[in-house]
Amino acid sequence: MSGPGEVGVPDLYGTAAIRERVLAAWAASPARFREDANTEEDFALGGYRDRVVIELAQNAADAALRRGAPGRLRLRLAGGVLTAANTGAPLDAAGVQALSTLRASAKRDETAAVGRFGVGFAAVVAVSDEPAVLPAVGRPGVAWSAPRTRELVAQIPALADELLRRGGHVPVLRLPFPARSQEAEPGFDTVVRLPLRDAETEALVRRQLAEVGPALMLALPGLRTVEIEIDGRTRTVTAGHEPDGTVVIDGVRWRTVVEEGTLAPALLADRPTEERARPTWRVRWAVPEEAPGLGRKGLPEEVPAVLHAPTPSEERLDLPALLIATFPLAPDRRHIAPGPLSDFLAERAAEAYVRLLRGLPATPRLLSLVPGGLPAGALDARLRRAIGERLPDAPLLPVAVPGEDGTVRARGRDTVAVDGTPELLDLLAEVLPGLLPAGWPADHPALAALGVRRLPPADVIDLLATLDREPAWWQRLYRALEGARPGTDSLGALPVPLADGRTVRGPRGLLIAADGLDPRPLEVLGLRFVHPEAVHPLLNRLGAVQAGPRAVLADPAVRAAVEGSFDADDPEPIAEAVLGLVAEAALDPGDEPWLAELALPGADGEPYPAGELLLPTSPLREIMAADAPFGVVAAELVERWGEGPLEAAGVLRGFALARAQDVDLQAQAHDPVLDLDDEEEWACDVLARLGPQELPPQLPELLAVRDLELVEDWDAALELLAEPPLREAVVDPAQVMLHDGRRVAVPSYTAWWLRGRPVLGGRRPADLRSADAHELAGLYDVAPAGLDPVLARALGVRRSVDGLLAEPGGADELLRRLADPGRTVSRALLRRLWTALADRAAATGEPPAEPPRWIRALVRGTPEVVPAEDAMVLDAPALLPLLADQPLVITAYDRAVTLAETLDLALASEEVPGAVESRGTPRAVPQAVHEVLADVDEGLPDEYLAHERLVVDGQTVSWWYEEDTGAVHAADAAGLARGLAWAAGHWTDRLLLEAVLRDPATAPDILAERDLEP
């Protein structure tokens, strides 16, 4: 290609005239030169600094529109030169004039043209100093040259100083020169040639070429094909436009919508004159039909997220579609100019966006096109707000219409979303108007922006409560809910159809009939069985009970029916239903004690509670008193059901057991839980045994035998009580739980009750062959032969004194027996019993509950029952001669004090003065005594007082010992032996000492005999 202004090139565009006018103007006014240079520099380095490719494409699109044919553009970068070849109307003089001026577009009368301001071509100056626009080969073109312009300017003296101050920088596009192209571009009408300034500008151009894509084709609909060739490698972008507005760009279908019209003058009042002369507006939205994902707004990553006006601006838009609109731009050509026109276009853009969404298929992808998140800027926020105001009223969402095929579109505010499986949503669509179909994520945030009401499972359940549907429909619903796996809390009020035709809220506690169980005969019991056609495992998970006979019996309704059977108009159907369940459940007697309240007919035709009826073969018929309130069960019931089910229902074969769990003993002492005979007294007795407690003691289980107070034949009754399961209620102690976690065994209620009744004619030893039983012979009667020993102990039968005293209250019982004149007690046994009482008192420190009023004491050596106030405890042997006629309680002298305190009796030593009234002669203790008592360290005196006649308290005695002085008085050898043995603490050696004192020579033999003692 020849250089600009090549000699011999025709000047078809009046370039010489343009140059003359511009140079004359600059010469006349250097300021004009300066102004043109600054303005071009502002455009080249400011608003159009990186727009050369876009502006070249825009000019190509406008050329195609002027010709009225689809445009084609080829962009080639090679050898440091960018060329842009395009089809369309060729360059003319007006075009050259426009390109060589600033802000004077030749397209102002072309309403369809993209270029509007006459400054876009200034972008070429950002990359090239010698741009050229060259028509087809053989026709002249036009070029601009910074060196040539600088040369011409330098010839004008008035501009020399300014050129120097600007460092040689001149406005390139003000002076055009004729040029001719010698390079053919077949198929194209115009070529723009841009020799690039340097490597930096070449890199800038490469980046812009790489960015050519769908956004450019959508912004410039006049172009159909853009070829980008870089260093020999070609990439082609094509755009096919369909009648419905769809644009296919490189195989990707873009749905578009266009709104356009004429602007009211008021909207242009603040705009420049030439803009006011073009009072049209246009808004276009575009979005690919197949979203690249729900990520960034549904737009391909190569599409810049900015407003195109119509070429890219720097107004950030974070909306999920491409917006191309004729927004007014500020002088920097980068941002919109605020004002009425921008506000107007924002509203129109919002309307167009809603129309775009309405034209898209009604798939969940629509949700990704609903604006969400934070706005990217002021315009973005304004558009979001305007779109958001319109979306709830736009019929965008598909809803099923019962009775019609397919779906219709509904407004968001008329739509509800439910999270569930397709099966669930299909069911709900029948009863829930405006329901979003399956596949639409119910928790998507875009639904809220659309005004969709999201229904959680609990709200769905509430809406279903009023429905009237067949049981099979509900079973389908349960299956669908099971697949959806909602939380059980939200389904707690789920409607459930019952077998009796009712529908209730909530599966918990409902019964599901097990295989083989017919619920129809059980309706009389008020049971709530799920309708068989509605049964589903979900109901079990929500608390319904898979009900065999035992589970049905456990239902509270059955218990209520049993308790109310006596007041029922016709108790027979209730009895029939309950006995049928009992028979099928194969209950054992006592499994369900409350069944004893079931009203059943007796043999006399009167109704009885089952627990007050006896089987015809019951041994209780012979044991109970004649006035016992028992009837015999009707014979037809025995024939109908057999004795087993009747006994399991509470009819008595033998004694019945009563049970209670977690019994508060303190409360039971005032309010019995089983209504047993003297139940409160038993609780009080147990509390007394336990003593004071910080918290009420608890009884985990109370097990007792009923109706014992009605027994007449105790021998036969005891035989029954000795057999399981009644035996455990007698012999097993009750385990009381204390507040500190300890367990204490106490007598069972049944054992306690039997001990207090004359069931054996009184308490008695169990077996006189027992080693210790002879101690109680005479005090107790003999137990019947063959009585079970374990049962006997539970009944309170005594086996030994130690066993008696070990029990609470045993000491008081023993004292009562001893005070009974009708009982026989030997002197030896009496001494043993007093010793045992003293030992118990010493060990436990516990006296009897009350001091005895009568006491069995020795009167002249014979046991007799005397008033306690007349008796005293003998605590010293020397007192015996002085108390010959006094009732004495005698035990081992070392237990005398303890026994006196225990029985609240006087000690003999405290009642007898013990005054020695005769004079004695001091004598030495014989040596033989010292030999016998050689191991005595102290207490044995060296002398004693010998009396011819020893008188104490006016009575003659053989010996006396003064406790306070330790003096021994004796009147003979026998008395001296007893006095010295007592003083030395060797009372058991008194007879040995007497023998030695009578014949000292026998001492060795006597000592040898003593050595033989065990």
User: Higher confidence at residue 234 or residue 50?
Assistant: 234
Reported as a single tens digit per residue, the pLDDT across 442-471 is: 889 999 999 999 988 888 888 888 888 899
pLDDT of 483 higher than 80? no
Report the distance separating Cα 35 and Cα 17, nearest Å.
21
Strand 280-288 versus strand 252-262 pairing type: antiparallel
Residue 770, pLDDT score: 53
Contact 854, 866 (CB under 8 A): yes
Helix (H) or strand (E) holding 585: helix 571-585
Number of CB atoms found within 10 A of residue 724's CB: 7
Tokens 């007294």 found at: 681
Mention every residue, 6+ apart, whose C-beta is less than 8 A from residue 629: 612, 710
Helix (H) or strand (E) holding 657: strand 657-664
* Ramachandran sector of residue 742 (left: φ over 0; alpha: ψ -120 to 50; beta: rest): beta
**What percentage of the chain exceeds 90 in pLDDT?**
41
Residue-by-residue DSSP string for 136-171? STTSEEEEE-HHHHHHHHHT-HHHHHHHHHTTT---
Report the distance separating Cα 153 and Cα 148, nearest Å.
9
Reported as a single tens digit per residue, the pLDDT across 300-341 is: 888 888 999 888 888 999 888 999 998 998 877 788 989 999
Contact 176, 143 (CB under 8 A): yes
Report the distance separating Cα 736 and Cα 267, nearest Å.
95
Residue 48, pLDDT score: 67
Tokens 């308490």 found at: 763
Structure tokens at 32: 């004009």
Burial degree of 934 (CB within 10 A; 0-12, 13-18, 19+): exposed
> Ranked by mean pLDDT, which of 359-368, 379-388, 783-792 comes out on top?
379-388
pLDDT of 765 higher than 50? no
Dihedral, CA of residue 120, residue 124, residue 127 and residue 133, to nearest 10: 160
Reported as a single tens digit per residue, the pLDDT across 919-950 is: 999 999 998 888 888 877 677 899 999 999 99
Reported as a single tens digit per residue, the pLDDT across 855-905 is: 999 999 899 999 989 999 999 999 999 998 899 999 988 899 999 998 999
Grade residue 7 by pLDDT with cuts at 50, 70 and 90.
low
In the chain, the amino acid numbered 951 is V
Reported as a single tens digit per residue, the pLDDT across 978-999 is: 999 999 889 988 999 999 899 8
Burial degree of 405 (CB within 10 A; 0-12, 13-18, 19+): exposed
Reported as a single tens digit per residue, the pLDDT across 556-599 is: 999 999 999 988 889 999 999 999 999 998 888 888 888 999 99
Alpha helices, DSSP H, located in 764-907: 789-795, 801-806, 810-818, 827-844, 896-903
Report the distance separating Cα 584 and Cα 517, nearest Å.
9
- Partners of residue 229 on adjacent β-strands: 76, 234
Report the distance separating Cα 562 and Cα 570, nearest Å.
12
Reported as a single tens digit per residue, the pLDDT across 793-806 is: 777 777 778 777 87
Alpha helices, DSSP H, located in 847-926: 896-903, 908-911
Residue 761, pLDDT score: 57
Grade residue 220 by pLDDT with cuts at 50, 70 and 90.
very high
Residue 291, pLDDT score: 56
Dihedral, CA of residue 212, residue 213, residue 215 and residue 220, to nearest 10: 70
In the chain, the amino acid numbered 613 is L
The three-state secondary structure class of 71 is: strand
pLDDT of 427 higher than 80? yes
Give whole-number Cα distances, 133 to 39, 46, 50, 92, in Å: 22, 23, 20, 11
User: Higher confidence at residue 75 or residue 112?
Assistant: 75
| Averaged pLDDT of the chain | 86
pLDDT of 488 higher than 80? no
Burial degree of 50 (CB within 10 A; 0-12, 13-18, 19+): middle
Reported as a single tens digit per residue, the pLDDT across 177-209 is: 998 776 668 889 899 999 999 999 999 999 999
Reported as a single tens digit per residue, the pLDDT across 688-736 is: 888 888 899 999 999 999 899 999 888 888 888 888 888 898 989 999 9
Report the distance separating Cα 553 and Cα 559, nearest Å.
8
Contact 65, 112 (CB under 8 A): yes
Grade residue 521 by pLDDT with cuts at 50, 70 and 90.
confident
Q: Where are the beta strands (DSSP E) in 158-266?
A: 176-180, 190-195, 223-230, 233-241, 247-249, 252-262
Q: Which of 480-484, 544-548, 611-615 shows the lowest per-residue confidence on average (mean pLDDT)?
A: 480-484
Length of the chain: 1014
Reported as a single tens digit per residue, the pLDDT across 253-266 is: 999 999 999 988 88
Report the distance separating Cα 643 and Cα 625, nearest Å.
23
pLDDT of 116 higher than 60? no
In the chain, the amino acid numbered 675 is D
pLDDT of 137 higher than 70? no
Number of CB atoms found within 10 A of residue 137's CB: 13
Structure tokens at 586: 């194969």
Dihedral, CA of residue 953, residue 954, residue 960 and residue 965, to nearest 10: 50
Residue 138, pLDDT score: 66
Residue-by-residue DSSP string for 488-547? GGGGTT-EEEBTTS-EEE--TT-EEEPTT---GGGGGGT--BBPGGG--HHHHHTT-EEE
Structure tokens at 685: 């007795």
Residue-by-residue DSSP string for 594-613? GGGG-EEEBTTS-EEEGGGE
Grade residue 105 by pLDDT with cuts at 50, 70 and 90.
very low
Report the distance separating Cα 585 and Cα 583, nearest Å.
5
Residue-by-residue DSSP string for 734-788? EEEEPTTS-EEEE--HHHHHHHTTTTTSS--BS-TTSTTGGGGBTTBPPPPTT--
Reported as a single tens digit per residue, the pLDDT across 351-375 is: 999 999 998 888 888 898 999 888 8
pLDDT of 959 higher than 90? yes
Residue 186, pLDDT score: 84
Report phi then psi at 765, rounded to 5: -65, 150
Question: Which own/partner pairs from 513-520 qualify as long-range (CB within 8 Å, at least 24 positions apart)?
Answer: 513/547, 514/546, 514/547, 514/548, 514/551, 517/547, 517/548, 517/549, 517/552, 517/584
First to last CA, the chain: 153
Residue 232, pLDDT score: 87
Q: Where are the beta strands (DSSP E) in 388-506?
A: 395-400, 407-411, 416-417, 453-454, 495-497, 503-505
